[in-house]
Homo-oligomer: A and B are copies of this chain.
Amino acid sequence: MAMAWATKLFFIFLLSIFTIDPISSHKQHPLDPLSPEELNLTQTIVKDSFPSSNNTTLTFHYVGLDEPDKPFLLSWLSKPTNKPPPRRALAITRFNKQTHEFIIDLANRSIISNHVYAGYGYPTLGIDEQTEAIQLPLTYDPFIGSIRKRGLNLSAIVCSSFTVGWFGRVRNRRVVKLQCFHMNDTVNLYLLPIEGIQIIVDLEEMKIVEYNDSFKVPVPNSEGTDYRLSKQKPPFGPRINRAAIMQPDGPGFHIDGHTIRWVNWVFHLSFDARVGPMISLASIYDSEKHKYRSVLYRGHISELFVPYQDPTEDYYFKTFFDCGEFGFGLSAASLVPLADCPNNAVFMDGYYAGQNGIPVKVSNVFCIFERHAGDIMWRHTEFGIPDVSITEARPEVSLVVRMVATIGNYDHILDWEFKPSGSINIQVGLSGILGVKAATYTHSDQINEDVYGTLLADNTIGLHHDHFLTYRLDVDIDGVDNSFIKHNLITKTVTDNTTARKSYWTVVSETAKTESEAKIRLGLKPAELVIVNPNKKTKPGNSYGYRLIPGPEAHSLLLEDDYPQIRGAFTKYNVWVTPYNKSEKWAGGRYVDQSHGQDTLAVWSLRNREIDNKDIVLWYVIGIHHVPCQEDFPVMPTLSSGFELRPTNFFERSAVLKVIPPKPVIWPNYSASP
């Protein structure tokens, strides 16, 4: 062997990073995202439905797969020789200041329905209209005057668009607020806000409809804000040695279209303009039962509520719903090999419909890689048997699916991690740039008022805010009908002298019969939270289950009747359970921009539907209160949070007992490369 490889060509591993093209090489799966061809077809059909003279006012705000009915899909999956569910598109468009919802049959090239939505709230913003809007001030005389008055350089100005929220007043038009920044010699615009200028743009008139220059505050100094490597000055560091994962037998996963098989898992991965990565039909192979068993029908982030905590004029409205207002898929970053994902990652592209309905490709929108983090899958050393020494240990490996959504300043790293033991870890990493405001202060001793944040640098206040990432998890624990159990840990007092103990805790289980019984604020009562299939039991009689292992708890601290909280009411609890309802996908509602909170998870749940032994959906809110600190400046080191779904009496025994430890990797000596 030694001689054999020495004669081989050398190659640079970097070149072997490759991208899976999801559309070329496989039979379409009913849950596949719309292909570029399907997006184009949808665009054509919708466009053709409107009078041609007016087509310039037609804009596309969401185009995605109209999910097949779940029973239909499940029945097809059980007998895939039957005809698959029809491919349908859901297109949300604006035309003549009206919101249209189209359902398109792609095979028949027909419109199944065209519904005009007349309620409160608007669809996800388009990228093109925002790009156009943020340039308006640069030719708007009052703004040019404001910039001159401040002694700033117009050519260094970049504006950003922000959703306006809802504060009790109905606007009846699609508007955004603009905030402008004086970038100067940096690209870190967010740290250089120009205060005191309020600009409102009507997106459909595409003009500034309100303008106000109310006060002046110095723009912070740009020094030290640029984060580009090329702009850094010595001393560099800390210095990191390079490293790479070598997998002589290749990766342990196989991607066929959008279906990923790895070790004992199989799942479908699709890309959605609104929520980004969607994991579907995740099943795990049970080597005792000799079959794949379902865990998750569909899982994805549903909404991200980011309320800033500064009530002043320029900031009070910053109460964003990033998925519904801006779109996680629309905001997906192309992942950078060797930086966003390790050398053993494989990449996939994604497509969304642009504002004109034409497909836009996001290269490397997902990466998939095996994580070898040096963790231990399981181990035991036996010291207790005289004259015998036993240690058995297995190294951990997991499969990670990653996407990054960058909504303006913040980068959200969304990881789905699958383990051979059956666990699914759902993690989010926060990085990117803080939302700051400019102030006259240069030292905290000067501050005698609430500035709603932390003084991070001269004239720079990092504003208090929250991140509430709400996940929708349509769990199907070995079947569709599931229940949600709270195994409450209850202290028992012993008074009858039957034991020397005065107390112990035990489990008092409670099945949530209706939605109201499943709303949980973590941290108040010790409990194990389990989704079970009450119809299927292990040999000892335990219901098949998956346990929710929460991360650190945070819930919204806003008053319940405050406008942003009405819209984000689903952040009052960390855990919710609802019966499956195809239309209940987006926790903040379908039309979140300027919504009045009438179509949220919290409102749906008021019906208090039955959830026992039903097809249920688990909702989990990862909450992070963020008091900025100087280390978050000028770019924030990743802050992580998440939760675990862990099999709990799902298997008869550990699924990883019989893992054979991988053979050691043998490789030739090598010299350091240049």
Contact = CB atoms under 8 A, between A and B. Distances in A.
Interface in A320-346: 331, 333-334, 336, 338-345
A569 interface: no
Nearest to A427: B375
Contact of A404 (B242, B381, B537): B381
Given A540-B444, A634-B654, A241 B236 contact: no
Contacts of A664: 12-14, 242, 244, 338, 343
Interface in A626-658: 627, 629-640, 646-658
Contacts of A392: 227-229, 635
A494 interface: yes
Interface string A35-71: 0000000000000000000000000000000000000
Contacts of A637: 377-378, 419, 421, 423, 654-656
A456 B441 CA distance: 63
Contacts of A445: 541
Nearest to A5: B671
Given A552-B549, A669-B8, A374 B345 contact: yes
A227 B631 CA distance: 46
B251 A241 contact: yes
A83 interface: no
Contact of A631 (B14, B386, B450, B655): B655
A244 B287 contact: no
Contacts of A454: 542, 649
A504 interface: yes
Contacts of A635: 378-380, 392, 654, 657
Contacts of A537: 444
Contacts of A370: 241, 243
Residue among A228, A339, A545, A550 with the most chain B CB within 10 A? A339
Given A241-B370, A431-B380, A673 B666 contact: yes
A306 to B, nearest CB: 13
B660 A10 contact: no
Contact of A553 (B183, B553, B640): B553
Contact of A243 (B245, B382, B456, B653): B245
A245 B343 CA distance: 11
A379 B663 CA distance: 35
B493 A413 contact: no
Given A1-B674, A379-B411, A562-B501, A665 B242 contact: yes
A606 interface: no
Interface string A578-610: 000000000000000000000000000000000
A668 B380 contact: no
Given A237-B287, A653-B634, A550 B547 contact: no
B432 A316 contact: no
B379 A503 contact: no
Nearest to A264: B238
A196 interface: no
Given A240-B252, A630-B542, A500 B316 contact: yes
A372 B209 CA distance: 51
A564 interface: yes
A383 interface: yes
Interface stretch (A84-92, A103-111, A297-305, A393-401): A393-401
Interface in A120-175: 131, 134-135, 158, 160, 167-169
Interface in A520-548: 522-524, 526, 528, 537-542, 545, 547
A662 B287 contact: no
Interface in A549-566: 549-554, 557-559, 561-565
